[in-house]
Structure 1
Amino acid sequence: MVPRHEPRPRRSSAGAPGPRATRERRPGRAGIPGSVRPRQPRSARTPRTLVYRLGRLPDPLEWPPLESAGSGRFDDPARRFRVLYAARQRAACFAETLATFRPSLELLAETGDPADIVGAVSAGFLRSRGVAAFHRRAGRWLDIRQLETLAALRSAFGSTLHEFGLTDVDLSGVCGPQRMFTQSVAAWAYEHGYHGIVYASRLGATFECWAIFDNAAIETGNTASEPADVYVRCPACPTWFVPSCAPTRVFARLPPSAVAIAAVRTKEATAHYLRALW
């Protein structure tokens, strides 16, 4: 007969056998188990890399006047603070600004061939814009791309979502076109001591955009501003953007009513993306 081995009893600290130790469960808030904690918003680290802004010349980094605030995605509807919109990638700041100049879907449907439609930007618009690269100083940046932040916003706005025409808080809401909600998120972030919001562009998931509140400090001592150089489309060229046959400052010879196709000289990848954007 094979002997049966009984499990050895656990011993207490005094040496005598005692009951199996159980992990004490810490009390939580009312209605919330001790092992569950309300999520806190996730903050993004202040990167050491430059960010880019396409803004009005002569100073693209000048804060917009309060009287003109209120139409941007993360503007304050009460006009208590101002916002600078920037992006970590140079292509992103061009794409975000120029997306409104794309041909309408109705026009594309009527034409039937997207290749026949040329996206146009007025010369006057691009003459008055420039690109600035700058650093941000350390601060608190609300990262609305993160699960913890979405959960915190869901808790904060859950009872009022119906007022914005939303049923839940997710990326489609915080990065979507519902300005009343996104501006309310910006006001909430400002009231909770954040210096801005980090969000993903709707034009590309890899584009990292920044809405910088005017309570943030930006380093402008080493910034580099340059005109938003463009090229016109050459009929003899098969490509949309023709850096080989257009002068660097083509606007010197264009009348104010002329139109031009936006392109970026510095990085080929940016030009390719803008070509796809149209």
Structure 2
Amino acid sequence: MLASPALALVEPPHQLWRVEREDPPLRFSQINAVDALLERSGNRFDVAGAGVLYAATSQEGAYAETLAAFRPSASLLAKLQAAGMDAGLPGPGEVPRSWRLDRRLRALTLSNPLPFVDIDAPATHTYLTRNVARILSDIGVNSLDIATVRGPNRFLTRSLAAWLYAQTDEHARPLYSGIRYGSRLGPHECWAVFDGTAVSLIREVTVEADSPALRTVAAAFGLALH
């Protein structure tokens, strides 16, 4: 008989961080059923018909997840270098002052959370491969590993999140508060918090250009802060 490892479960730290627009605070991400079927739409662990709040263990992780969009692509840089850049416009890789002014760095905590599923753990990959085999087969995935769960196919990762979100005990109570995952952008620990988990704001700070965490991420990404 084949061994059947269980899901790898972890507890979140007391304090998590996220960077978001000033209002509303601690907004859970939502996605409609149509967009949820697309590989490139929405966020990594969004669940159609539900809400997911994204956060990181460190300030650097929170900044990395939100600043990634400012990194210029190789194709864009090649075109600009060939054509000459317009001196009157911000160049690629520049973070405008308005971006900072419109956002806050917020610390939050979870009250009595259920366990989180460590989506990066080999035991989780084995468990899910066996228990959601039909879903994976329909998507064209033969087995799960770090490359697949951190890959660009968000339909895949959302399908896993939706399955985990729907798991309940014999009293129809949810089993998990969300998913723990590693960032694709660096050595950052991140959390996808399912709605139904009590979330409280601890404090917030304005996003200042001289913030050590912000400057660390900007330097790693080659971004200029304004």
**TM-score normalised to the size of structure 2?**
0.78
Identity %: 32
CA distance in 2, matches of 1:143, 1:169: 13
Deviation larger for 56-65 or 173-182? 56-65
Change (3 A) 1:154 1:66: closer
Distance across 1 between alignment mates of 2:54 and 2:4: 31
Distance 1:66 1:147, change over 3 A: closer
In the superposition, relative to structure 1, how do residues 271 and 123 fare at CA in structure 2: closer, same or farther (>3 Å)? closer
Q: State how 1:67-78 maps to structure 2 within 5 Å.
A: 70=36, 71-76=42-47, 78=48
Deviations 1:45-91 (A, max 9, x none): 2323x110111213431334666985111001x32x10111000101
2:206, 2:100 → 1: CA distance?
Answer: 8
**How many residues are aligned here?**
199
Aligned 8 A contact 2:13 2:57 in 1? no
For 1:169, the equivalent position in structure 2 comes to 144
Q: Secondary structure at the match of 1:62?
A: coil
Q: Which has the higher contact order (CA 8 A, sep 6+)?
A: 2
CA distance in 2, matches of 1:47, 1:74: 20
Is 1:131 the counterpart of 2:100? The answer is no
Q: Which residue of 2 aligns with 1:248?
A: none
Partner of 1:215: 196
How far has the Cα of 1:141 moved from its partner?
Answer: 0.5
- Residue type of the alignment partner of 2:195: D
Q: Contact 1:51/1:133 (CA < 8 Å) preserved in 2? A: yes
Equivalent residue, structure 1, for 2:207:
228
Q: Which secondary structure state, in structure 2, belongs to the residue aligned with residue 75 of structure 1?
A: coil
Which of 16, 22, 25 is residue 51 of structure 1 equivalent to?
16
Distance in 1 (CA, whole Å) between partners of 2:10 and 2:130 is 20
Match of 2:215 in 1: 271
Q: Aligned with 1:212: secondary structure? A: strand
Does the alignment pair 1:150 with 2:121?
no
* Among 60, 66, 69, the residue aligned to 1:97: 66
State the Cα distance separating 1:176 from its structure 2 match.
1.4
Aligned-partner Cα distance in 2 for 1:88–1:154:
27
Residue aligning to 2:28: 63
What residue ranges of structure 1 are gaps of 5+ in the alignment?
A: 1-31, 231-242, 244-264
Structure exhibiting the larger radius of gyration computed from Cα positions: 1
More helix by share: 2
Contact residue 143 and residue 197 of structure 1 kept, 8 A: yes
Deviation at 1:123, TM superposition (A): 4.0
| Structure 1 runs, 4 residues or longer, greater than 4 Å off | 64-70
State the Cα distance separating 1:109 from its structure 2 match: 3.7
Compute the RMSD of aligned alpha carbons: 2.4
Whole-Å Cα distance in 1 between the matches of residues 30 and 7 of structure 2?
30
Confirm or deny that 1:185 pairs with 2:156: no
Q: Which amino acid aligns with 2:105?
A: V
Matching residue's letter, 2:161 = A
- Quick one: distance in 2 between partners of 1:129 and 1:270? 13
Who is 2:171 aligned against? none
| C-alpha distance in structure 2 between counterparts of 1:277 and 1:146, whole Å | 27
Alpha-carbon displacement from aligned partner over 1:103-126 (angstroms, at most 9, x marks no partner): 1111334539xxxx6512344433
Preserved CA contact (<8 Å) 1:154 1:169: yes
Residue by residue over 1:136-170, the C-alpha shift from the partner in whole angstroms, topping out at 9 and shown as x without a partner, is 23322011121111111111233343432433211
- CA–CA separation in structure 2 for the residues paired with 1:121 and 1:162: 41
Q: Determine if contact 1:164/1:178 at 8 Å carries over to the other structure.
A: no
Structure 1's 64 and 146: CA in aligned 2 closer, same or farther, altered over 3 A? closer
**Cα distance in 1 for residues equivalent to 2:30 and 2:138:** 29
